[in-house]
Structure formats: C-alpha cells, structure tokens
Amino acid sequence: MSISRRSLFPCLCALILSGCSVFGQTGVDVAPYKVLEKVRNIEVRHYERLVLVSTAMPSGMEEQRSPFRKLFDYISGNNDVMKEIPMTAPVLIEQQNDSAKSMSFVLPDFYSFETVPIPKDPAVQVDELVDYTVAAITFSGSFEQDSIHTHTQILEQWIAQHGLIKKGPVIAAGYNPPFTLPAFRRNEVLIPIVKP
C-alpha cells in the first residue's frame, strides 16, 4: 500500500519541526520573552518584538495543512532572496469568535521587519508586534478548538479578576508537532493586556 504525497508532506514537516521527538523536545528556538508575573500555569509576559509571517485559515482548525504548507514554503526559500529561514516555536493561531482566523510562524529574532525576506506568495504576509505584553496560560493535551476555548475562558476570568484589560485578539500557541504525546505537549493561550 502506497502513501500519497499529500499525506506524506505534513508528516515530513512535523519531523523537521520536532527534531523527531514524541516527548516534547522540538530542538528549535523559542521566541524570547520576559516573565513579569507567574501564578501556577498563568504568566504575564513581555515580548520586546516579534516578527511574524502569517496566512489566513479560511477553514479554521479543521484544515491546518494548507496554511502550514504556505508558511513552511516561505521559510524553505519561497521568498524574494530564496533563503531558507530556521524554524522557531511557537506556531501562533489567531482566534476570532472561537474559530481560527490565521496562522503565523515567529521568525528568528535576528530578523527585523525591515530585513526579513519578502514572501513570493501573495497569501503570505509579514507582520510585527512591538512591546507586546500578554497574559498566557500553559496546558498540555490536545491543541484543538474546544481545549483552546476552555483555556481562553479561564484566562479571561483571571484577567478580569486581576483588574487587567484585554487589548487585542486571543492567540493560541502550539510548540509541538501533532505526533507528540499529549501529556508532553506545550500549548498556550495568549491574550494581549494592559493595566488600566
């Protein structure tokens, strides 16, 4: 029985992303941040700068292969200088009305918005977040919409209880490939915040 090329591609991408680990160690750099406050599995974090490459997810979490492939093609050289860019973590998924709106890769921190290669695919765009402060909740298990929704509600309640103000869209962050054992996955929900 042969494996179709379509089903093989996500597996190959996952192997590259994961460093071939099912135990949560991906072997890729993580976007740097400073922890300002920590209470159990919730943190207030500050990201000085994030350069993102993003594309839409018209079918939400139900169809992640096509958006992932567009972004993976970009870091594999489908850009104006045909340069490969190292994979980093996490993969970010912007939420809108309890559904996935867009997917983003965080680019290595040696890139700025001005120096990042320009995507050849018009469906892929480069964005930048500067002085980005978030409340973040970390959880293991499935990286699916129901779990994201549950942890979003917990985090929104924590934000309200601490007198903080939500300022921007909810972001789901996944650090591991799909075949990582659920107990070893690092998943997060990030919500941008400000103090009143």
Tens digit of each residue's pLDDT (9 = 90 or more) over 52-109: 999 999 887 777 789 999 999 999 999 999 999 999 999 999 999 888 999 999 999 9
Query: What tens digit of pLDDT does each residue of 169-193 get?
Result: 999 999 998 889 999 999 999 999 9
Tokens 């402060």, residue located: 133
Q: What is the pTM of this model?
A: 0.85
Query: What span, in angstroms and rounded, lies between the C-alpha atoms of 31 and 105?
Result: 10
Q: C-alpha angle 31/94/29, rounded to 5°?
A: 15
- Name the residue ranges covered by the structural domains of the chain: 29-194
Residue 7 CA to residue 89 CA, distance in Å, equals 23
Alpha carbon distances (Å) from 154 to 170, 175, 190: 12, 20, 12
User: Which pLDDT band, with edges at 50, 70 and 90, does 2 fall under?
Assistant: very low
Q: Which fold has domain 29-194?
A: Multidrug-efflux Transporter 1 Regulator Bmrr; Chain A (3.20.80)
